[in-house]
A = this chain, B = another copy of it.
Amino acid sequence: MINKLIANIKKTNAPIVVGLDPMLNYVPEHVQKKAFAEYGETLEGAAEAVWQFNKAIVDATYDLIPAVKPQVAMYEQFGVPGMAAYEKTVSYCQEKGLVVIGDIKRGDIGSTSEAYAVGHLGHVQVGSKSYAGFHEDFATVNPYLGSDGVKPFIKVCKEEKKGIFVLVKTSNPSSGEFQDRIIDGRPLYEWVGEQVAAWGEEHMGDDYSYVGAVVGATYPEMGKVLRKVMPKSYILVPGYGAQGGKGKDLVHFFNEDGLGAIVNSSRGIIAAYKQEKYAEFGTENFADASRAAVKDMVEDISGALAAAK
């Protein structure tokens, strides 16, 4: 799947991923109204609104992008119907040829981590049959529990040709509280990054490993260091746009081959129609605003990469 991700990136010439994190207040009122007319102001209604919103954005952008990253929390908040909308979104994006990175940040121990891995990346056995519950292509994984928590994911990835991105240095302001603490002269995130590199070396696609890392766009200096610590790991970079990261900050997340990183934007793309810059599209044409925002983001990042050469 890491090979497919890279092929998609090369094909679109866009090292970006669209974060499908549909807060209900991002969903235009006319979309909400239509869903509520059919299902009422219920969890089912909210799930339908979110799904129709996603579908419109995917339809308007899929030819420009290699991948999407639905944030499962935004669906989980709507209970079981929300999880059904999540699964439907994953399926639809895959039908459109997109790689789906499930931003699930799961992590537990032993058989429990394996159950998460099976549910999201693998197949679960039921009697003589087997089923893929949420069937994302990649998942994000929290490393706080150590190897016991991560290895079951890697095992399932190996069997299913899927991949993971392990949280190394997250984009949020307080990520340093624990991640930046110094251990034997180096911050915790470097130790975690080193572990990611070690796991990755044994689990290679053609050029990159299918054990990747998450490093926030908001910490470009740390990204520069981590790029060297994990030369064969793809870096998923959240925090672009709304969280403050800019194209020129991101060049050191990439390797010299122009690969090695994929930059996520969520709000900046899916709620583009709310920005003054894209207001001309109007709420009715929110998906066209998203398409324009994707083009601008690709230009910003490609421009920065070209200028750095």
Give me the interface of A with B, judged by CB distance under 8 Å.
21, 23-24, 32, 36, 41-43, 45-46, 71, 73-74, 76-80, 82-84, 87, 105-113, 115-116, 118-120, 124-129, 131-134, 142-149, 167, 170-179, 181-184, 188, 191-192, 195
Contacts and interface: CB of A to CB of B under 8 A. Distances in A.
B167 A127 contact: no
B78 A109 contact: no
A226 to B, nearest CB: 16
A101 to B, nearest CB: 14
A127 to B, nearest CB: 4
Nearest to A132: B79
Query: How many identical subunits does the complex contain?
Result: 2
A42 B126 contact: yes
Nearest to A85: B80
Contacts of A142: 105, 107, 142, 144
Contacts of A131: 42-43, 78-79
A223 to B, nearest CB: 17
A145 B172 CA distance: 8
A177 B147 contact: yes
A46 B123 CA distance: 13
19 contacts: A21-B112, A43-B126, A46-B124, A73-B106, A73-B115, A76-B115, A77-B133, A80-B80, A80-B133, A82-B119, A109-B170, A109-B172, A144-B178, A146-B176, A146-B178, A147-B177, A148-B172, A149-B172, A178-B188
